[in-house]
Amino acid sequence: MAQESSILITGGAGFIGSNVVEHLLANGYQNLTVIDDESLGRLKRVDRPGVTCVKGDILDEALMASLLAGADAVIHLAADTRVIDSIENPAYNFEVNVVGSFRLLSLARDAGCQRIINASTGGAILGDAPPPVSEELPARPLAPYGAAKLAVEGYCSAFAGAYGMKTLSLRFSNVYGPLSFHKGSVVAAFYKSLLNGRPLTVYGDGEQVRDFLYVGDLVAGVRRAIETDATGVLQLGSSVGTSINTLIALMAEATGRREIPVDYVPARQGETRITWCCIDRAREVLGFEPGTRLAEGLANTWNWFSENVTVFK
């Protein structure tokens, strides 16, 4: 896709969206529209030349129809991404993630916007599958969030098959990095606890394993996705499994602390125990190659959090 193409980014003021906008601008894209309801992110973070900022809800059909009218492609990031909250309130998660995404696909079809990059997830969709997980494994969601994301992948596939749309779902692993000030994911939550002088809270014994992907590597993959006609589903991760206890040890190195206080509490139902992903297909299709080691990414992220400490006080 040409750099002069018009790209609509839903949820573009959030953690990943803000990084996507910065990356696209740095790579010559100058016709970006960001819609965000600012429930978590702030549009002022992406308000710069080349970006049109719109405060709104993706469930607002009239607004979305007007934004899609001139769009060549959509990067669909808007979602309710909280796994535990989806267990407590599955109806809300369904409304935002499934209904909102279905309406987006329908309106994009009507507007003639063919290219949709859909942000999905791996671990929550596949459940406790033996790692490394891949696109070929059967889906066994353990929480409504994973079920909703699986449903959206299904609709993306259906709209590609029925209407010829070029839809690609990218299954993100555990993404971390700068600009994640509002995130409740593990790296951001741990760093905010350290900045506020609180012990880290670990659910379970800390031996649960995740695939941590630096946001700079992720957004490069998203850009490559926009620049291809690839369809279907691709895993984007680091392809390395890291336990939470190992993560904490690396955080101690990144922050220069000899010891980090940790409170271990009972594990939470609905969370996957061990997962990391195979990225062979993304390497082949997108040329995706994450190059940021976890220790380096954690140091970069800590530097950003430290420089923006007033946000967390």
Is-catalytic flag, 145? yes
Q: Residue 35's closest CA among 58, 15, 60, 18?
A: 58
Catalytic residue among 29, 92, 145, 214: 145
User: What is the percentage of the chain residues whose pLDDT exceeds 90?
Assistant: 84
User: CA–CA separation, 68 vs 75, rounded Å?
Assistant: 12
Please compute the mean of the pLDDT values over residues 194-212 and round it to a whole number.
95
Cis peptide before 49 (omega within 30 of 0): no
Class of domain 7-176+212-237: alpha beta
Please compute the mean of the pLDDT values over residues 210-227 and round it to a whole number.
97
User: What pLDDT, on a 0 to 100 scale, did the predictor assign at position 313?
Assistant: 47
Check whether 311 has a pLDDT greater than 70.
Answer: no
Pair type for strands 209-210 and 242-243 = antiparallel
Question: Which tens digit of pLDDT belongs to each residue from 124-166?
Answer: 888 888 899 999 999 999 899 999 999 999 999 999 999 999 9
Of the ranges 134-148, 220-234, 241-255, 283-297, which one carries the lowest mean pLDDT score?
134-148
Tokens of 115: 């290219």
- Output DSSP code: residue 5: S
User: CA–CA separation, 105 vs 159, rounded Å?
Assistant: 7
Better pLDDT: 281 or 125: 281
- Integer angstrom CA distances of residue 178 from 20, 34, 218: 12, 19, 12
Of the ranges 14-18, 130-134, 260-264, which one carries the lowest mean pLDDT score?
130-134
User: What is the percentage of the chain residues whose pLDDT exceeds 70?
Assistant: 99
Q: pLDDT band for 183, please (50, 70, 90 cuts).
A: confident
Q: Would you call 28 exposed, middle or buried from its count of C-beta atoms within 10 A (0-12, 13-18, 19+)?
A: exposed
> 3-state class of 88 per DSSP?
helix
Question: Which tens digit of pLDDT belongs to each residue from 48-102?
Answer: 999 999 999 999 999 999 999 999 999 999 998 888 899 999 999 999 999 999 9
Domain positions in the chain: 7-176+212-237
CB 108 within 8 A of CB 126: no
Please compute the mean of the pLDDT values over residues 184-197 and round it to a whole number.
93
Check whether 312 has a pLDDT greater than 70.
Answer: no
User: CA–CA separation, 247 vs 115, rounded Å?
Assistant: 37
Check whether 16 has a pLDDT greater than 50.
Answer: yes
Better pLDDT: 55 or 2: 55
